[in-house]
Amino acid sequence: MSLEIKVPPVGESITEVTLSAWKKEEGDHVEMDEVIAELESDKATFELTAEKAGTLKRVANEGDTLAIGAVVANIEEGEGAPAATADAAPAAKPEPAKEKEKTPADTATEASSLEIKVPAVGESITEVTLSRWIKNDGDAVEMDEAIAELESDKATFELTAEKAGTLKTIAKEGDTLAIGAVVCTIEGSGAAAPSAPPAGTSVADATNESPQTSPSKGTTYASGTPSPAAAKILAEKGIDTKAVSGSGVDGRITKGDALNAKAEAPKAASPKPTAAPAAPAQPAGPRSDRREKMSSLRKTVAKRLVAVKNETAMLTTFNEVDMAPIMELRSKYKEKFKDKHGVGLGFMSFFTKAVTEALKEWPAVGARIEGEEVVYSNFADISIAVSAPKGLVVPVIRNAESMSLAEIEKAIVVLAGKARENKLSIEEMTGGTFTITNGGVFGSMLSTPIINSPQSAILGMHNIIERPVAVNGQVVIRPMMYLALSYDHRIVDGRESVSFLVRVKQLLEDPTRLLLGV
């Protein structure tokens, strides 16, 4: 029998893909779930696998554009038997191979083999990247032990073994995998040895490095393994993880360990001074480039930013706010505020509260487009842009319009902490109605922030600079901040955007209005 291998559905908005590369040749024998080709859409690259064992018969060619559901190849009946060698006669009968194929031991092994697949991690996530193997091929693993690290465009998480046994890796580090794709298999059950011991080797010798002996050595799978943030820092410094000792739980390398680690200084020849050089002296030290693969987060952020610029009618309006009233209020009550609520009183809670009040008056600023409809929300889920080790993330404060300043400050502290430790969940980063970003913490004086799609507006905060301004006919020095509101002109008109920003300015320059709701 022949089985057709078709282009699988890969997303609601994707209608066609390109066959970028064949991984197996015409007539090759393939095993079930073995990668046979690489497909590429306008959003991602993914692998096509064989749905049964047999002989590959190609239908499409490299470079072909194929619709979803189109036939890519056929798998001819082979029942998992090894393919004949290239110089074997085509008419050779496969029956002997069938008889040898499945022994009772093979059947038992197959029955005890468990496929470990990419789990569903969120409605909007269709693929992940296998960033790192924590365990190696052939290692014995325990149930629930972390075996690999997966990275989506929004978060990093660990893949765990669903039973004890021997790990057989299928995917490679750096591979992009669709949700549900097979990452590896766990062979055998219990504390199985990686492979059968050679003749003359005792069972005790063969299992000498099993996990059961690890506690006696004082090590675990986490020993010497860097956290995602630490791995990025060490890679940037060019330091091998083997040269760093971990101070975290079970010897894990923390971000602090990575920051304190020092690379061995390269030995560069000392420049020879000359009294009158004939030509400019060449700089001492090595000259080199370092290439680093873009993370899934960085690639997705790049695509979304370009899409927003191309798909929205984005404009930016500006204003400035006198920060003296808020600064005086913070200076007067910050100690009492912290004693009572256990959290500091920052600027972000004032801006968040001011935005929620302004959204009540100008709801179009917090609306979004879905198809041919404009969706208005009677709540304010405020996204706060946070710079994390792997890039910009935007966690969401839910129902901010009903929260006090103290509740907003506590929510910001929790979400920012999770962002820096790469522990934000998908739910904590989706569903916002309006975004606030603070470039002022990095010294930005003025910017035009890009809308966080599918939202329709974003408020940009900037640094506070003392400037001379006219107040009641007198020139005085005041702490001033520029505000920038970028908005989608398809939904928000100029009157609404300017009025919204003016309302935010009024509330910030007279913070008692935030308490009185006027």
**Catalytic sites, residue numbers:** 489, 493
In degrees and rounded to multiples of 5, residue 106 shows phi and psi of -65, -45
Contact 184, 114 (CB under 8 A): no
Instruction: Give the pair of three-digit tokens for residue 145.
Output: 């032990």
40 DSSP assignment: E
Of the candidates 25, 27, 36, 31, which has an alpha carbon nearest to the alpha carbon of residue 88? 27
Residue type, 125: I
In degrees and rounded to multiples of 5, residue 60 shows phi and psi of -95, 160
- Token pair 């190609």 in the structure block, residue: 58
* CA separation for the pair 362, 3 (Å, rounded): 58
In degrees and rounded to multiples of 5, residue 166 shows phi and psi of -105, 130
Instruction: Give the pair of three-digit tokens for residue 104.
Output: 């009772």
For the chain, the residue count is 518
91 DSSP assignment: T
Render the burial of 21-45: b for 16+ CB within 10 Å, e for the rest: ebebeeebbbeeebbbbbbebebbe
Contact 367, 375 (CB under 8 A): yes
